[in-house]
Structure 1
Amino acid sequence: MRTRHVRRSAALAAAAFTLPITLGVAAPVFAASQQTDPYGPACASLPSQGSGSLAGMAQDPVATAASNNPALSTLVTAVKKAGLVDTLNNAKGITVFAPTNEAFAKIPKADLDKILADKAELTKLLTYHVVGEKITPSQLSDGSFKTLEGGTLTTTGSGENFTVNGKAKIVCGDVQTSNGTVNIIDTVLTPM
């Protein structure tokens, strides 16, 4: 009885694909998903559950997702000072190259304090880290992307090893949020 049921199910499945062809209609095509999993050594340091986890970040817009990630607290402070929280949370299909706290720590404290105190310069710096389109890992191998600041970012690499502007490494890439993609980087980028 069980074998008969399996044969009947197999026959019905075959008919579902054969029938459209005999009627001159294209059979459905099941393409592999274009979305990849986040990659990079820093992804392992994200919380395994909760709002700062990969699943949690996918539920929130970019700025909110970043605020739940302990490695991005300096960036979040800068975004708030520049008044960009709503801009980032309301944008659609963006890609953010998000510097870690350690990336900001590479900037001498006096220089960082000066940037944080100048809203116009801070806004220019932060919007240079945002591209107004979704960038997939395959596009990063040899890419050139216009930023919201108006400049251009370049990316090179392959597999799970990508560099932005020849110096910043993506340490956790292709992190999805509800309105964009985040690539966490180890160096703050400066507009060219």
Structure 2
Amino acid sequence: MKKSLVIVAASLFTCFTANQVFAQTQDTTKKTTTTTTSTTATAPTADVATILAGNPDYSSANAAVKSAGLETALKATGPFTIFAPNNVAFSKLPAGKLDSLLKDPAKLGPLLKGHVVAGHYTKAEIIKALTAGKGKAALTTIDGQTLTLSVSPNKTLQLTNATGQSAEVVLYDMVGTNGVVNGINGVL
């Protein structure tokens, strides 16, 4: 029995020593270059209204927010998540519709409020909500409407309002100090 233990111990010692010697004698003349990219998350410095105003692809939404008098509300504490139609979405409206809405804040305000929910919903948080809801999630807008989130047949996030109008999220996570702006491709 002692002889067996000595043989096992000697074998282990030999294997260990051989591995150490082999590791030290490998060719180290090959050079490997590794590039490491680190990103540091910076704290947001602007509110959601300012973020919306700073993105040229959302200038129509920004003009609508200002015209409806919602800019001050969107600078408040929040948190808010704005599902903002991009300029292409506004261009799909019937001719003259946007101009008509911009001149009528009483109609424009409720339309825009249907794109803003109370709460902070980044892409990761939306995925959690969809997972918890088994593929669907309902969010309440700041004026009490319901937006239903689901995955579209194109495997994108789709928003549907109470009247059945839908749009897909095309840009995620423009994070501000008081919420998030996510871009959509339609006006609800």
CA drift at 1:173:
1.5
Q: Could you say which residue in structure 1 is the equivalent of 2:15?
A: none
Question: Paired residue for 2:141, among 144, 147, 158?
Answer: 147
In the alignment, structure 1 residue 163 sits paired with structure 2 residue 158: yes
Q: Distance in 2 between matches of 1:74 and 1:66?
A: 10
What does residue range 46-125 of structure 1 map to in structure 2 within 5 Å? 58-125=44-111
Question: What are the Cα deviations for residues 45-80 of structure 1, in whole angstroms up to 9, with x where unaligned?
Answer: xxxxxxxxx969x32100111111010000010111
Q: How many residues align?
A: 134
TM-score (norm 1): 0.64
Deviations 1:114-135, CA, capped at 9 Å, x for gaps: 2211111100001110001122
For structure 2, the 5+ residue unaligned runs are 1-40
Mapped partners of 2:99, 2:156: distance in 1: 31
SS at match of 2:170: strand
TM-score (norm 2): 0.66
**What code does the residue aligned with 1:176 have?**
V
Q: Is the 8 A contact 1:79 1:85 kept in 2?
A: yes
Larger radius of gyration: 2
> Equivalent residue for 2:177?
178
Match of 1:188 in 2: 187
Task: Spell out the pairing of 1:14-33 with structure 2 (5 A cutoff).
Answer: none
Conserved 8 A contact 2:60-2:87: yes
1:95 counterpart letter in structure 2? T
Q: 1:55 to 1:113 in 2, by over 3 A?
A: farther
The 1:179–1:188 alpha-carbon spacing in structure 2 relative to 1, beyond 3 Å, is same
Structural RMSD (CA): 2.1
Corresponding letter in the other structure for 2:158? T
Instruction: Tell me, yes or no, if the aligned pair for 1:75 and 1:100 is still in contact at 8 Å.
Output: yes
Would the alpha carbon gap of residues 55 and 184 (structure 1) be closer, same or farther in structure 2, given more than 3 Å must change? farther
Report the secondary structure of 1:134's partner residue: coil
Moved over 3 A (4+): none
Aligned-partner SS, 1:155? strand
Asked whether the 8 Å contact 1:137–1:174 carries over to 2, the reply is no
| Residue 22 (structure 2) aligns with | none
